[in-house]
């Protein structure tokens, strides 16, 4: 090895150390980098399928909605006299505005479709069963919040379609038993749909529901990591293992405590 090679090698090592310094600084004080590394490189069953990427696809759709939503919020005006105009400005005059608005509008449908596909996959794979019932329930919360996000966002353009769709939606809510009329009043913010309604829908759409979604997604992913991902139902590894200590225990008529069943291995 000649001197020029050694010098180049030393320079590269120096550059690497300089780049890693901030990462190491954060890691030493938080352990965050190790956590992210664990999440990205953890073991999953070797025979998982494409259907098991639908959760990540839903997560990607949510991130697209969050980013495009923040950009739209910089130009949108939640006032009945200005809302429609501001939407027209975003669509027709703002640079790339049509694209950002289109991504947000169509992305909302994509997000809901992906949620249903992901939920269908979890159901068909039986992945909602013990010990993942809690994560299924969190998923139900995510679905409800996702649909409410769509409902509250629909009013914001303040055109005829959005106005009358909201009238119908709130009237359906009002016909619900016990708390139905009360919740309809809370949503409307008064006797008529007007500026109060728009302000409420905007606050719920921008702050309340996204906050709830972010919290529930965090919990959901924590449980996915903690419990591991299930193998597909056709998995030979999960169903036809050569030695299955659990099955042997059952054959001998012994009941194994729930907490000792192999939830980390998948099924
Ligand atoms: C914002 C919405 C959601 C996001 C971002 C999300 C994300 C994910 C991800 C990344 C996974 C692991 C990979 C996979 O199985 O695809 C997962 C698994 C899971 N999700 Fe969701 N999900 C959402 C909504 C839902 C809904 C609506 C349900 C059902 C009602 C649900 C129930 C589950 C269950 C039970 C698992 C564990 C499946 C297994 O271990 O095989 N999720 N989710």
Tell me, what's the pLDDT at 242? 52
- Predicted confidence at residue 39, as pLDDT, reads 87
Question: Where does the pLDDT of residue 257 fall: very low under 50, low under 70, confident under 90, or very high at 90 and above?
Answer: low
CATH class given for the domain over 51-225: mainly alpha
Q: Which residues line ligand 1 (CB under 6 A)?
A: 52, 54-56, 58-59, 62, 115, 118-119, 122, 125, 127-128, 132, 135-136, 139-140, 142-143, 217, 220, 224, 229-230
DSSP 81-118: TTHHHHHHHHHHTSTTHHHHHHHHHHHHHHHHHHHHHH
Collapsing DSSP to helix, strand or coil, 256 comes out as: coil
At residue 184's C-alpha, the angle toward residues 180 and 188, to 5°, is 175
**What per-residue confidence (pLDDT) applies to 262?**
47
Give tens-digit pLDDT for 215-240: 999 999 999 999 999 989 888 776 54
Section 30-44 average pLDDT: 91
**Pocket-testing residue among 55, 123, 264, ligand 1, by greatest number of atoms within 8 A of Cβ:** 55
pLDDT per residue over 129-138, tens digit each? Answer: 999 999 999 9
pLDDT exceeds 80 at position 202: yes
Cα(2) to ligand 1 centroid in Å equals 55
The answer to whether 251 and 243 have CB atoms below 8 angstroms apart is no
Supply φ then ψ for residue 37, to 5 degrees. Answer: -60, -40
Distance CA 95, CA 203 (A): 26
Ligand 1 centre distance from Cα of residue 136 (Å): 8
Can you say how many angstroms the Cα of residue 84 is from the centroid of all Cα atoms in its chain? 29
Q: Is the pLDDT of residue 261 over 60?
A: no
Work out the mean pLDDT of the chain and round it to a whole number: 91
Q: How far is the CA of 183 from the centre of ligand 1 (A)?
A: 29
What's the pLDDT at 251? 58
Report whether pLDDT(45) > 90: no
Distance, in Å, from the CA atom of 218 to the CA atom of 175, rounded to the nearest integer, reads 34
> How far does residue 65's CA lie from ligand 1's centre (Å)?
18
Contact 90/76 with Cβ under 8 angstroms? yes
Of 39, 47, 139, 212, the one to substitute when testing ligand 1's pocket (max ligand atoms within 8 A of C-beta) is 139
Pick the residue whose CA is nearest to atom 21 on ligand 1: 55
Task: Note the pLDDT tens digit of each residue in 61-83.
Answer: 999 999 999 999 999 999 999 99
């Amino acid at each position: 090895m000649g001197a020029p090679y050694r010098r180049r090698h030393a320079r590269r090592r120096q550059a690497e150390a300089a780049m890693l310094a901030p990462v190491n600084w954060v890691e030493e004080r938080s352990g965050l980098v190790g956590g992210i590394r664990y999440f990205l490189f953890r073991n999953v069953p070797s025979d998982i399928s494409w259907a098991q990427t639908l959760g990540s696809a839903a997560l990607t759709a949510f991130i697209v909605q969050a980013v495009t939503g923040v950009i739209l919020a910089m130009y949108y005006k939640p006032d009945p006299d200005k809302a429609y105009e501001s939407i027209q400005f975003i669509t027709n005059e703002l640079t790339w505005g049509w694209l950002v608005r289109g991504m947000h509008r169509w992305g909302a449908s994509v997000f809901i479709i992906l949620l249903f596909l992901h939920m269908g996959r979890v159901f068909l794979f039986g992945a909602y069963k013990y010990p993942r019932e809690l994560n299924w329930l969190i998923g139900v919360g995510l679905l409800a919040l996702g649909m409410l996000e769509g409902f509250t966002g629909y009013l914001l353009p303040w055109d005829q379609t959005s106005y009358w769709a909201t009238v119908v939606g709130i009237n359906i809510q009002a016909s619900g038993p016990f708390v139905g009329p009360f919740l309809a009043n809370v949503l409307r913010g008064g006797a008529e749909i007007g500026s109060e309604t728009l302000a409420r829908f905007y606050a719920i759409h921008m702050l309340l529901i996204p906050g709830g979604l972010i919290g529930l997604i965090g919990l959901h992913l924590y449980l996915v990591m903690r419990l591991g991902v299930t193998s597909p139902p056709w998995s030979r590894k999960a169903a036809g293992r050569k030695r299955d200590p659990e099955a042997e225990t059952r054959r001998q008529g012994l009941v194994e405590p729930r907490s000792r069943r192999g939830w980390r291995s998948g099924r």
